[in-house]
Amino acid sequence: MTPRIQEIPYFEDSAALFLPWSDRGWSVFLDSGYPHSRQGRYDIIAADPVKTLITRGLVTEVREGEWIQRSPEDPFKLIQEALGATRGGVSELPFCGGAIGYFGYDLARRLETLPDLAADAEGIPDMVVGIYDWAVIVDHLERRTYLVGREASPILDKRWPHLVKSFSQIQTLGWRLGDFQIVDEVRANLDQPAYGKAFRKIQHYIEEGDCYQVNLAMRFSAHSTGNPWVAYQYLRTYNPAPFSAYLNYPEVQVLSSSPERFLKVSEGEVETKPIKGTRPRVQDVVGDARQVLELQDSLKDRAENLMIVDLLRNDIGKNCVPGSVNVPKLFEIESYATVHHMVSTVRGKLLPEHSALDLMRGCFPGGSITGAPKIRAMEIIEELEPNRRGLYCGSIGYIGYDGNMDSNIAIRTLMHSDNTVRFWAGGGIVADSDVALEYQECHHKAAALLHLIEEFRQRDANVSALGR
């Protein structure tokens, strides 16, 4: 059956469409960063899921209205069951209802046996997914917006006229600056000496032949008050990225400005775009161009990137047609507000008998943020990072009723819960890495979120000064 579809007025800034829903639990905004960046095309907005799945450890709570089930089943299998049999979509639109949510890095414990050493200071679920029977799709290339919905749903039949009306009468309201504040200094869980100690341990493991590359990350945190949606609106203007998101869940709000695609499936075509290799932006035009050339010509960064490309070729190959996996783009440079990245593209053809969720399960978590070989790198990460990663280096995205999927790697991503914000930054350590440069690269990658923290701390200080 064909999903229902209704064209509604187009707004260049989709934040105006999401604003009335932003304080509603389970509202989600998959954000291409447009108009502040022209790299993305589609935005997706949804709310009021018909079913929710929350995984903590070995148990997933599945809730539909008053009905609740607590299941030890594989969370990926439970999502597939909630989606049901694959049904038709609208070919020109990426999503016509289905699953949207996050898959935390530590969901990997359901897939692999890993040590239990790092402290869990997050206290958030390993997976949070809603099943949505309607969504708003904004196409910035065609400058058109659509309300799409599940084809046969008595509940949606009743709501449909109200949804059409509410999204057709949006007013472009401003957002108040004073709604969100950072109330203390940002703290990192690894200072430079501690980072150096972990770095040297990785170098030892590489020399012993345990691994070739390990992604080492540090965690930043600060206390906050107010509405994190205000902070996200600032983040998306300061650091727009094509795989951004704002997720408002009862236990946690997620503010992501990720530049990295994890996995995309469209009509059976698979794509992943790993990032390895980073240089900071500089204000001088000539100097900034020099940074790009230096990254492009770096043998070390190319070697790191190629290592992860090979890992991902193997990962997606588990669920792709033999011989279909290829690398059409290698070592391309993509530029963002604070950094330049080296990005490669790996593609394949999904086996007809396998689903997008099979693919995600077979690749999770993404190799670009673990290392190689993956499982040994994850064991070393658990040993050397003081805190569990929570959502960081997991994934945010959608899996549609039509079997299509798109997802990011959850980097440049901030979590907000219990009046605290937390985010991470890291980089791949290889045999010829330099400890001082790698430590500095972590701060380069965290620059946008550190700037956000400072902006809302400074704003608080200015307000206090005016009040004295």
CATH number for the domain that contains residue 246: 3.60.120.10
Report pLDDT digits (tens) over 153-171: 788 889 999 999 999 887 6
In degrees, rounded to 5, the angle at the alpha carbon of residue 253 between the alpha carbons of residues 252 and 254 is: 120
Number of domains, the chain: 1
Q: Which amino acid is at 308?
A: I
The three-state secondary structure class of 228 is: helix
Please name which of 25, 3, 260 lies closest in space to residue 137, comparing C-alpha atoms.
3
pLDDT score, position 313: 96
Percent of the chain topping pLDDT 90: 87
Contact status, residue 243 vs residue 102, Cβ threshold 8 Å: no
* pLDDT of residue 462 exceeding 80: no
Q: How many CA atoms lie within 13 A of 452 on its CB side?
A: 34
pLDDT score, position 238: 94
Q: Which of 276, 438, 441, 445 is flagged as catalytic?
A: 276
Report pLDDT digits (tens) over 114-131: 999 999 999 999 999 999
73-77, 81-85, 147-151, range with the lowest pLDDT: 147-151
Tokens of 72: 């030890």
Place of tokens 């059976």: 268
* pLDDT of residue 237 exceeding 60: yes
Question: Looking at the DSSP assignment, which residues form a beta bridge with residue 264?
Answer: 271, 406
Contact status, residue 239 vs residue 336, Cβ threshold 8 Å: yes
Q: Which amino acid is at 396?
A: I
In degrees, rounded to 5, the angle at the alpha carbon of residue 49 between the alpha carbons of residues 34 and 135 is: 35
pLDDT score, position 350: 98
Burial class (CB in 10 A: 0-12, 13-18, 19+), 309: buried
pLDDT score, position 152: 72
pLDDT score, position 343: 96
At 383, phi and psi to the nearest 5? -75, -40
pLDDT score, position 154: 82
| CA–CA gap between residue 389 and residue 351 (Å, rounded) | 32
4-18, 151-165, 191-205, range with the lowest pLDDT: 151-165
pLDDT score, position 326: 97
* pLDDT of residue 231 exceeding 60: yes
Which residues have C-beta within 8 Å of that of residue 404, sequence separation ≥ 6?
A: 89, 94, 95, 265, 266, 267, 356
- In this structure, the dihedral spanned by the alpha carbons of residues 90, 92, 98 and 104, taken in order and rounded to 10 degrees, is 160
Q: What is the DSSP letter of 319?
A: T
| CA–CA gap between residue 276 and residue 274 (Å, rounded) | 7
* pLDDT of residue 310 exceeding 90: yes
For strands 371-372 and 420-429, give the pairing.
unpaired
Q: What is the mean pLDDT of residues 283-293?
A: 94
pLDDT score, position 233: 94
**What mean pLDDT is reported for the chain?**
93
Establish whether 329 is a catalytic residue: no
Q: Which of 122, 260, 379, 438 is flagged as catalytic?
A: 260
Tokens of 362: 């077979």
| CA–CA gap between residue 367 and residue 359 (Å, rounded) | 13
* pLDDT of residue 460 exceeding 70: no
Which residues have C-beta within 8 Å of that of residue 154, sequence separation ≥ 6?
A: none
Tokens of 440: 């500095």
Containing 460, the helix (H) or strand (E) segment is helix 447-467
Contact status, residue 244 vs residue 31, Cβ threshold 8 Å: yes
DSSP assignment string, 265-286:
EETTEEEE--EEEEEE--SSHH
* pLDDT of residue 136 exceeding 70: yes
Q: What is the mean pLDDT of residues 404-411?
A: 97
Q: What is the DSSP letter of 320?
A: B
Percent of the chain topping pLDDT 70: 96
Q: What is the mean pLDDT of residues 209-222?
A: 96
Report pLDDT digits (tens) over 247-268: 999 999 999 999 999 999 999 9
* pLDDT of residue 175 exceeding 70: no
Please name which of 405, 273, 268 lies closest in space to residue 350, comparing C-alpha atoms.
268
Range of the domain at 94: 4-171+180-467
Bond prior to 274 in cis (omega within 30° of 0)? no
Q: What is the mean pLDDT of residues 409-415?
A: 97
Q: What is the mean pLDDT of residues 309-335?
A: 96
pLDDT score, position 119: 94
DSSP assignment string, 341-375:
EEEEEEEEEB-TT--HHHHHHHHPSPGGGTEESHH
| CA–CA gap between residue 111 and residue 169 (Å, rounded) | 46
pLDDT score, position 174: 54
pLDDT score, position 461: 56
